[in-house]
Structure 1
């Protein structure tokens, strides 16, 4: 019966789980407990879990991606760090950014995250460029790039 149930089976299972949890003093939250089809996907602990057809085949697999909410959260942290640290030198800014990015990427590494990591890297780089332009607001990009981007 696993994997081929109907919506009614899922609702019955939810009531059974609630019955098991009640003697322990626990209860299911109605707002957080969601019944959805795996093809629609769901968000859980920062992951988006969804079934897709594997490219080049007719087989379907369940994939885990970083959720959009988790991506927005880390991009907000990067933005906040770059906004608050305008007076710091570049190594100090990177010293603050690296643990945030490294920790987030380490958490989401087991999933299908390559495209998300590329997007996050691009956004973080744009934030650092914006930080440099705010720090040297009267200089043009060529003048800013020389001390920060050696060789390119």
Structure 2
């Protein structure tokens, strides 16, 4: 039972294998020497990460989503750095606004959307809707 609650809740967590699988998919799409169109690449990365996040949005996963965003951002920046032969100052010049905030990575009208922006609904009370085969009278 959760502390301060009078009802039981089910907490689910993201497995390490699931995290490794999404990392492998992002890694496969963003090799350093990739010459794929950036707009198509961003669209595909958005599809993969947001589909994965939609599946795990009911888990205790906010930090996992943040770490996935960080991993994806680093892979994209590393790929763009090699592709355009940019230094760190070139990246900052292109992706940091004058007020110091980072702009999202965009290409051809497609924007890389953060996974951590997906709302997480953790506490789902399921009540008596689930029957228990070991307790008589609940089936």
Please state which band the TM-score falls in when normalised by the shorter chain.
0.5 to 0.7
Structure (1/2) with the larger strand percentage:
1
Please say if 1:95 is aligned against 2:53: no
Report if aligned partners of 2:26, 2:72 keep a CA contact under 8 Å in 1.
Answer: yes
Structure (1/2) with the larger helix percentage:
1
What is the alpha-carbon distance in structure 1 between the residues aligned to residue 65 and residue 3 of structure 2? 20
Counterpart of 2:62 (choices 102, 114, 120) is 114
Please give the root-mean-square deviation of Cα atoms over the aligned residues, in Å.
2.5
Q: Which is greater in Rg? A: 1
Matches within 5 A, 1:61-100: 62-83=10-31, 86-100=34-48
Q: Structure 2, unaligned stretches of length 5 or more?
A: 103-139
Q: Structure 1, unaligned stretches of length 5 or more?
A: 1-52
- Larger RCO (CA within 8 A; separation ≥ 6): 2
What TM-score, normalized to structure 1? 0.54
Report if aligned partners of 2:32, 2:83 keep a CA contact under 8 Å in 1.
Answer: no
Q: Which residue of 2 aligns with 1:146?
A: 93
Please say if 1:134 is aligned against 2:82: yes
1:115 Cα deviation after fit = 1.2
Number of residues of Structure 1 aligned to a counterpart in Structure 2: 97
